[in-house]
Amino acid sequence: MEEHPFAQYIRALGKGPQGKRELTEDEACAAMTMILAGEVQPLQLGAFLTLMRVKIETAAEIAGLARAARASIVPPEGASARLDWSSYAGKRRQLPWFVLSALTLAAHGIPVLMHGTDGYQPDRVFVPDALRALGIAPAASLAEAARSVQRTGFGFISLAHLQPMLHEFMGFKPILGLRSPIHTVVRLLNPLRAPAMIQGVFHPGYHDIHQDAAVLLGQPCAAVVKGDGGEAERNPDNPCRVKWAIGGEQFEEDWPAMFTTRHAKDESMDVGRLAAVWHGHARDEYGEAAVIGTAAIALKAVGEADSIDAAQALAEKLWTTRPMAWLKAA
């Protein structure tokens, strides 16, 4: 039997302690291209994802996988956004206040495209849950999301509509028992090729991988946030480390905690409170601090502020002056 063309990549990753090696960026790109073209057998795909996860992916491998994944998504002609915001983790201790951060930027003329997953874990709240409570419908196609960004400044598309195969692969975790490289790749998709990206990462070992991969992909600006629950959300109770990749240069910043005492877990996780806080019908000390603190990082990412203090001050101003009626229009 003739060897399957994809076998070379499995062999490279799994050929024993002495023979195995990492894939080059081009090899990883070629492997993902074959996967997304439907040219790989299910057994091969499972072996590939597992082997890569066990050895821990390199930045070059992730960049190659992401490059092929990006090539499978064609942005509508003329579509654009200033900020790409990925959301794939969900929240279980606090509400996804970062959604209001993104809407604050959008309401003040900074276009944001958010992409993520529908809820695949029943104990977490995901962006579509929050958007439905806010009266915003997720887009059913990238063209629809792009039109929403152009019309209102904000659009959200789920991975199921953005790249159905990657969405299917995200569901492999309970089957394989492992988080696969796909969970990293989807955060780097940037469907509208926005010049700035913000990503949340939970596992500390992956911060550098995301940062390095963004440089390899030629991303003008990427902010990698050690976010609350793995989302790009600043937890105001704790210091927050942000790793930056800007114009090929890499550095990190430590953003200070906004409170001296910690807040308790939100036991209700009532997404209706997001709209109440936006419209000023309710106050939430933790939530509003999370909105402002997260918006500050995003504002620095899009170049609206050049320091932590300036970004924080601008975020507070934009939140305080948010046009509450904008939400109904969106």
Do residue 38 and residue 115 come from a single domain? no
Do residue 46 and residue 147 come from a single domain? no
What's the pLDDT score for residue 200? 96
Do residue 38 and residue 94 come from a single domain? no
Helix axes 7-14, 42-55, angle to 10 degrees: 30
Which domain CATH number covers 51?
1.20.970.10
Do residue 164 and residue 246 come from a single domain? yes
Do residue 92 and residue 199 come from a single domain? yes
Domain assignment of residue 76, yes or no = no
Answer yes or no: are the C-beta atoms of 136 and 149 closer than 8 Å: no
Question: CA 259, 275, 283: angle at the middle one, nearest 5?
Answer: 35
119: amino acid identity, one letter: G
What's the pLDDT score for residue 330? 67
What's the pLDDT score for residue 261? 94
CB-based contacts of 224, cutoff 8 Å, min separation 6: 199, 201, 207, 210, 211, 214, 242, 243, 244, 245
What's the pLDDT score for residue 277? 97
Q: Which two tokens stand for residue 299?
A: 């504002």
Residue-number span of the structural domain to which 104 is assigned: 83-329
Do residue 286 and residue 156 come from a single domain? yes
Number of domains in the chain: 2
Domain assignment of residue 2, yes or no = no
* pLDDT of the chain, 330 residues: tens digit per residue: 899 999 999 999 998 888 889 999 999 999 999 999 999 999 999 999 999 999 999 999 999 999 999 999 999 999 999 999 999 999 999 999 999 999 999 999 999 999 999 876 778 999 999 999 999 999 999 999 999 999 999 999 999 999 999 999 998 888 888 889 999 999 999 999 999 999 999 888 899 999 999 999 999 999 999 988 899 999 999 999 999 999 999 999 999 999 999 999 999 999 999 999 999 999 999 999 999 999 999 999 999 999 999 999 999 999 999 999 998 766
Domain assignment of residue 138, yes or no = yes
Which of 71, 91, 107 terminates a domain? The answer is 71
Answer yes or no: are the C-beta atoms of 222 and 249 closer than 8 Å: no
Which domain CATH number covers 159?
3.40.1030.10
Global confidence as pTM: 0.96
Which of 15, 49, 71 terminates a domain? The answer is 71
Domain assignment of residue 291, yes or no = yes
Do residue 117 and residue 217 come from a single domain? yes
Do residue 125 and residue 219 come from a single domain? yes
Do residue 269 and residue 295 come from a single domain? yes
